[in-house]
Amino acid sequence: MTLRGKASVYVGAALLRLILFLAFPGLPDLLTGRVEISTPVTSFKRLQEGLFLYTNNVSPYDGGVYHQAPLLLPLFSLLPSVKAWPIFTHLLYILVDVLSADALYKIAHSGEAGSSKLFTSPRRAKKWSGVAIAAAFLFNPYTIATCIGRSTGVFTTCAILHAISKAIYGSPFKAMVALSFASYLSMYPILLLPPVVLLAYDRQLEKRRVASGLQFAGTNVLVVVGCVAVLLGMSFVITGNSWEFLARTYGIQFTLSDLTPNVGLWWYFFIEMFDSFRAFFLGVFWLHLAAYPAALCFRLRPQPLAVLTIILGTFSIFKPYPSLADASLFLSMIPLFRHIFPLMRYSFVTTSTLLYATFLGPAFYHLWIYAGSGNANFFYAITLVWSLGQSLLVSDLTFALLRDEWEIERPDMIGKEIRQI
Amino acid sequence: MASGSASPSAPAQAAPAADVSSASSSPKLPPPETQSDVRRRSHIVWSFWLVIVLLGLPIWWKTTTIYRANLPLEGMLEWAEGKACRPVFPLQISIQADSLQENEAQNLVRLTQHALDDHNDFSGHHLRLQLAPKRDSSSDAVLDDNVALTIQLTPGETNAASLNPHSAVLDIVYPPNAIPGPSSSSSALATYIAKELQSTFSEEQSTISYLLSTSSAPDARPQNLSPEAAEILSKRTTRSLRYAPTYHLTFSLFTAGAIPNSWDIETAIDEYMKPMLHMLGPIHNFTIDTQVQLYATPGTQSQVLSKADLASFINAAEWPLSPSIGGAPTVNFVIYIGDQNIGLTSESKTSESETSQSWMIPQWGTIYLLSLPDTTTHISSEKLRQAMLTFNGHLLSLLATALPSISIPRSVADGVASTMDHLQQACGSLGGPEGLYHARIAEEEAERAFFEKSMVGQLYFPDEHKIAVYLPLLGPVGVPLIMGLINELKNWIKRRRQRAKEAGEKKSQ
């Protein structure tokens, strides 16, 4: 695609967002209040509360409402007040979205999805252009809603996409720095470290090649540890020399002490959970999340980008406070694998399940919270459907990836129906 | 659960190179697995199991073992069986006999004490007599706080006794010849005083023995409680509220029309209720709120309220009388301004606690009907006086202040040391405000210990119920993991055998 095509997509997406921001002044606050978009750890409303406390020299965590990373506060306090000059905040969010799209464009442009260093798909010729994939991200309603709702999850999304794109383009250091930022902001992206390291290892530039995998991994892990340590140190200084923020940001994610409903599976489960088993099941849920990366890295070693996509999918289902931001990140990675779409078996079911949940979710939430004619089970049922749709997508994608690999081994089976025994 | 439904996908999909049958009808044997595939699969299986063993098991161990502190079980059992404390309520009775000789008075006191002890068969309630120091004519005797009753002996014509209505003084008049000599061993006057004392304290004694009969202290059981007395006492306890350290008092003014719409409740409470609330201070804390509701329609519209109407007078649907604000139980005091009155049947006339204007709802509160001229817009505290005094009396019977601590050790399966400590102290000073104070703390501590989070969890969870907690989630997740492990181990054993066989063959060659 031409450079002009890319620019027009970016400008178009930015304009669309700007128009939505300006033409519907009530829309940002409406979307900010939606539980599907704002979770306790990404809510813009809570950020403002933290910001108010911060600018008045009170610890931002004193209110018990703000659970986000401390370094977001100086960033937002540099902007003019969102009440008086909302446009600057809007522009920041639009910029972050465009930056994410640009990283995604680069990832698509590299062709990593179809042919990595260790694996070349026979179907790789069939793919969408980078511009199309960036457009699919930018014009995805979930992405737009997340941007208008000003969820701070977009910063994490941006950092993750940049980590992937830098790893592909042979700059492991930058990739690690970006991943450190993502992990610092939301904690869970640290689980992406193994596949990102593998990806960076595969795509090293010839002139700076480190042959030993262990040495390469060790260096990169050290970079991440160093980066995160620096970020935490800065946070420590910002929050008045106290480590309180650790418990209030990451601790909240570990212990799920804020049970505000969201589109994930945790909140209802832990509302119902017997207190004496709460700690145990928190451990189970976190281990469940943490058990995937290693196994997926072994299984899909030749395709690290596929591993990343699948893990992002499991995050979007199983992390403690998922939102549309996570779903939009996962969904924006899927078009990279255009070449295996013909191998996917449940595309229709998946699509309709996700759409069904998208439309019924807000309706059921309304019935529960506002109309009072439903109860929590209504909304939870819909989040189950939403998670079901996503897990169908994850497993279908995994199946297609594996079948694609397998058909190289068994060319005689191409196009035939198979069954796992 | 949903997490289980997706989790098997990874390990299940992880064996793609396994046997595959083609769609055609003739089954074709798949090619053998390559060495690298086998190795990769074991890596995957072990990566899951490493997480489970290295992280999962320690977490399971750490989060589900319930820490068990050592408890002073023996001491607790002693309390539970009532052996640790013999509830004794000694009451100091002071005898003021200014007209008697010192030694004569001493003997009279001794004889009266004997007479009392002979008649008293209940150890929990004990009257202890003492001789008051002679009063100076110039200064009035300062009543000792510990003295429950003072007997004033004055010489007169015949034996007569009268209870002073304003202070705890029993006036006894005796004929001059009734004084026993310093050495005599029996006296009519002593017997008379003992009898008077017993009748004065009989109600209190039966109350205490009733309360103790519900406790488990074996030697303090009452012997001589008549069924009628027991019934009255049980009625009294059933309408009282369960003991709580804090009560919330809600004073509500409901009016049938638009006026009156203001009242001097604050002054009225300060003036008429506060003294009594202050007195109850060592036992309960009180929080108070007030409300005014205009155009309030009662649950029954009839002009004259019969006894059946009283039960449905409260308009539960419309009157904002919340059951409980915060943790403390609420006692409601409702003043209703309207022209209704209570039809006094012969039945209700005999009931001592109900006047013609008010009635008490057990464990709930009191309603007071106040009729005022139609034009009254403001109710002064003076007009609230009668209502407040009624409330006072009803509050006392609703609270039924007595020995909240005694029943606690019986049922409590756990006790903290401070409970025991405070119980000990409470037992040492039974009858005084200090005892009540300690009993209150002990009650709170015991409740807290009893409802300790981890212990309640344990209480509700017999071991077999844990299966129901673990299985729904861990079952679906665990099955593929365990099957994978078993397959892995099987293959490993097979490979070892194969290798051993090959080695053996090589050797034999």
Nearest one of B507, B501, B495, B484 to B48, comparing CA atoms: B484
Q: Residue A207 is encoded by which pair of tokens?
A: 């002139």
Residues of B in contact with A281 (CB under 8 A): 473
A93–B contact, CB cutoff 8 A: no
Q: Residue A94 is encoded by which pair of tokens?
A: 């639009």
Nearest chain A residue to B34 by CA: give it: A409
Q: Which residues pair with B337 in a beta bridge?
A: B255, B370
Return d(Cα B198, Cα B115) in angstroms, integer.
Answer: 10
A384–B contact, CB cutoff 8 A: yes
Range from B140-149, B428-437, B461-470 carrying the lowest mean pLDDT? B140-149
Annotate B153-209 with DSSP letters as a single string: EEE-SS-EEEE-SSSSEEEEEE-GGGPPPTT-S--HHHHHHHHHHHHHHHHHHHHHH
In this model, does residue A198 exceed pLDDT 60? yes
Mean pLDDT of B487-506: 90
**At B45, is the secondary structure helix, strand, or coil?**
helix
Predicted confidence band at A115 (pLDDT cuts at 50, 70, 90)?
Answer: confident
Nearest one of A101, A220, A117 to A161, comparing CA atoms: A101
- Helices H / strands E in chain A, number of each: 18, 0
Question: How do beta strands B365-370 and B330-337 pair?
Answer: parallel
Return d(Cα B434, Cα B426) in angstroms, integer.
Answer: 7
- Does A288 contact B477 at a Cβ distance shorter than 8 Å? yes
Q: What percent of chain B has pLDDT over 90?
A: 5
Range from A271-280, A383-392, B4-13, B202-211 carrying the lowest mean pLDDT? B4-13
Nearest chain B residue to A313 by CA: give it: B6
pLDDT digits (tens, 9 = 90+) for B16-74: 444 444 444 556 677 777 888 888 888 999 999 999 899 989 988 888 766 555 566 67
- C-alpha separations of B151 from A43, B136, B160, B194 in Å: 76, 17, 12, 11
Minimum distance, in Å, between the CA of residue A84 and any CA atom of chain B: 41
Which strands make up the sheet holding B160-163, listed edge to edge?
A: B125-131, B89-96, B147-155, B169-174, B160-163
B249: Cβ–Cβ under 8 A, 6 or more apart, which residues?
B286, B287, B288, B289, B330, B331, B333, B395
A288–B contact, CB cutoff 8 A: yes
B19: Cβ–Cβ under 8 A, 6 or more apart, which residues?
A421, B29, B30
**Which long-range contacts (C-beta less than 8 Å, at least 24 apart) are formed by B206-212?**
B206/B233, B207/B233, B207/B402, B208/B87, B208/B89, B208/B124, B208/B125, B208/B402, B209/B122, B209/B124, B209/B125, B210/B234, B210/B237, B211/B402, B211/B403, B211/B406, B212/B87, B212/B124, B212/B406
pLDDT digits (tens, 9 = 90+) for B335-346: 888 777 776 654
Q: What is the predicted pLDDT for the residue at B483?
A: 92
Region class of A241: left (phi > 0), else alpha (psi between -120 and 50), else beta: left
Return d(Cα A263, Cα B2) in angstroms, integer.
Answer: 13
| Greater model confidence, B376 or A195 | A195
Minimum distance, in Å, between the CA of residue B145 and any CA atom of chain A: 50
Nearest one of B247, B242, B245, B240 to B448, comparing CA atoms: B245
A 248-277 residues with CB below 8 A of B? 265, 269, 274-277
A57–B contact, CB cutoff 8 A: no
- Does A287 contact B12 at a Cβ distance shorter than 8 Å? no
A408–B contact, CB cutoff 8 A: no
A348: Cβ–Cβ under 8 A, 6 or more apart, which residues?
none
Nearest one of A89, A61, A58 to A76, comparing CA atoms: A89
Minimum distance, in Å, between the CA of residue A73 and any CA atom of chain B: 34
Predicted confidence band at B181 (pLDDT cuts at 50, 70, 90)?
Answer: low
Predicted confidence band at B404 (pLDDT cuts at 50, 70, 90)?
Answer: very low
Evaluate the omega torsion of the peptide bond into residue B260 and state whether it is cis, within 30 degrees of 0.
yes
- Does A276 contact B453 at a Cβ distance shorter than 8 Å? yes
A 307-346 residues with CB below 8 A of B? 314, 317-318
CA B321 to chain CA mean position, Å:
22
Q: Choose the closest CB to B59 out of A269, A280, A301.
A: A280
Indicate the average pLDDT of chain B.
71
Q: Choose the closest CB to A280 out of B5, B44, B63.
A: B63
pLDDT digits (tens, 9 = 90+) for B419-443: 666 667 766 666 667 777 777 777 7
Residue A175: phi, psi to the nearest 5?
A: -60, -45
